[in-house]
Amino acid sequence: MRMFDLIRKKRDGGILRPAEIRWFIEGVTKGTIPDYQVSALLMAIYYKGMNLEETKELTFAIRDSGERLDFSAVRGIRADKHSTGGVGDKTSLIVVPVVASFGVKVAKISGRGLGHTGGTIDKLESIPGFRTDIPEEDFLRNVNEIGLSIIGQTHEIAPADKKLYALRDVTATIDSLPLIVSSIMGKKLAADDDVIVLDVKTGSGAFMKTRRDSRKLAEAMVDIGKAAGKRVTALITDMDRPLGSAVGNAIEVIESIETLKGRGPKDLTDLCAALSSEILYLYGKGESLEQCEDMARDAIRSGRALALFGEMIRAQGGNPEVLWDYSLFGTAPVTAEVCAETDGYIAGMDTEGIGRASLALGAGRNTLDDVIDNTAGILLLKKTGARVRRGDVIAKLFTSDPQKVDQARDILIRSVVYTEKAPRKKPLVLDRIS
């Protein structure tokens, strides 16, 4: 086979055969296909798409590109949740300890930031000393002993996806349904969890901008998960507004801790309760989703989930004192304010724009070699639906580089829409696919 032929075939709208997809992923894994040709095929897939059978084959090829975790040593059913990526989305930091507090085993493999969205691993690495690259035996021991562990993608697990993930980030091929499905489910299936709950974002801050596309993505992932013998559900959730008030890395971890203390933003708390209830219900911990949601909220009220989060931090080399002393995260030397430009209501937010503003402050990567500023980010003091007067502070910016403030402020200002009348409220959870 020749890579040239595969690129031309997909460019012209052809359907790739299973053998061709397997050959491509093998070449990506071994490094025998140059980046420019891999990128060319990614772009062709972005424009021409893949049918369900191609997507399924790509997913399974990515799953099989490396080792599959051996969870035989883990006592109990294993569960995981995954988000398709959003702005201010720190739900894993809350949901994982919540469900683990009920005996659910969570051996979670997470990714880094992609485009305008943040990554769970980047957030966790803002905790002083926290390691996301612990040996597999330590990972599994933590899952057995304390019930949870979150690590980054290793070279052994789905290595083809690690290469594709990085190239997608810098070639504007992120928001492609088959590439998103195969990336997420390839890693999930390599991790071999029994229960998988998917948080599929939709709206201006998501990779899928419409509910129709988000539903197609959710249905494809649920279908592929079930084909692999897993218990899977998906929630379609609104990303026409950032989740919570914090956007960044350390600032999002702090907001997650506040949520585990019962003091988090309502939207973030409600979504975490909904996602946790899905896991607990599929796991068989309750007779109904409503009962499981009550259980999840009690894990927060009682402090059990917060205590487990601290245990995970300690087990992975971090300093659990961050739960009580936020100064340990460090402080951004540069702060600035963004003010409302008119009287009225915030009618909407270009959530992707807010993500790009955070990126401009240094909270994400523009290239593979960029170093993240853990203290950079945005704290939103007013969100969609809030009534404001001209000059009110609607957001605070944090960064280590004063030269980045003006660009970030300009992006954020352009991302906020005002009206004279209060906007209609929209639910956070829009649909459920099971």
pLDDT recorded at residue 115: 61
**Annotation says 65 is catalytic:** no
> CB of 123 within 8 A of CB of 249?
yes
C-alpha span between 241 and 248 (Å, rounded):
15
Q: Are strands 106-110 and 148-152 parallel, antiparallel or unpaired?
A: parallel
Catalytic one of 187, 365, 404, 409: 187
Give the domain ranges of the chain: 3-49, 79-323, 331-419
Token pair of 399, please?
A: 């960064």
Nearest to 304 by CA among 149, 101, 94: 101
pLDDT recorded at residue 182: 95
H or E element, residue 266: helix 266-283
Token pair of 412, please?
A: 């954020």
pLDDT recorded at residue 157: 81
> Domain 79-323, what fold?
Pyrimidine Nucleoside Phosphorylase; Chain A, domain 2 (3.40.1030)
> CB of 148 within 8 A of CB of 131?
no
Q: Which CATH architecture has domain 3-49?
A: Up-down Bundle (1.20)
pLDDT recorded at residue 367: 66
Of the listed ranges 25-34, 368-377, 414-423, the least confidently predicted one is: 368-377
Catalytic one of 83, 183, 276, 415: 183
Catalytic one of 56, 78, 82, 123: 82
Is the CATH code 1.10.10.410 the one for domain 331-419?
no
C-alpha span between 330 and 117 (Å, rounded):
22
Rg (CA), the chain: 21
- Best-predicted range by mean pLDDT (83-97, 100-114, 382-396): 382-396
Mean pLDDT within 219-246: 94
pLDDT recorded at residue 85: 80
> What percent of the chain has pLDDT above 90?
79
H or E element, residue 396: strand 393-399
The single residue listed with the structure tokens 């989930």 is 305
**Annotation says 226 is catalytic:** no
Catalytic one of 122, 161, 169, 175: 161
C-alpha span between 270 and 91 (Å, rounded):
10
Mean pLDDT within 391-418: 97
Q: Is the pTM of this model over 0.95?
A: no
**Annotation says 187 is catalytic:** yes
**Annotation says 161 is catalytic:** yes
> CB of 430 within 8 A of CB of 211?
yes
C-alpha span between 418 and 387 (Å, rounded):
9
Per-residue confidence band for 165, with pLDDT thresholds at 50, 70 and 90:
confident
pLDDT tens-digit series, residues 308-335 = 999 999 999 999 999 999 999 999 999 9
Identify residue 29 by its one-letter amino acid code. Answer: T
Name beta bridge partners: 201.
237
**Annotation says 155 is catalytic:** no
C-alpha span between 253 and 90 (Å, rounded):
7
Q: Are strands 246-248 and 377-380 parallel, antiparallel or unpaired?
A: antiparallel
Per-residue confidence band for 371, with pLDDT thresholds at 50, 70 and 90:
confident
pLDDT at residue 17 is higher than 90: yes
Token pair of 390, please?
A: 């001209």
Catalytic one of 81, 168, 383, 404: 168
> What percent of the chain has pLDDT above 70?
97
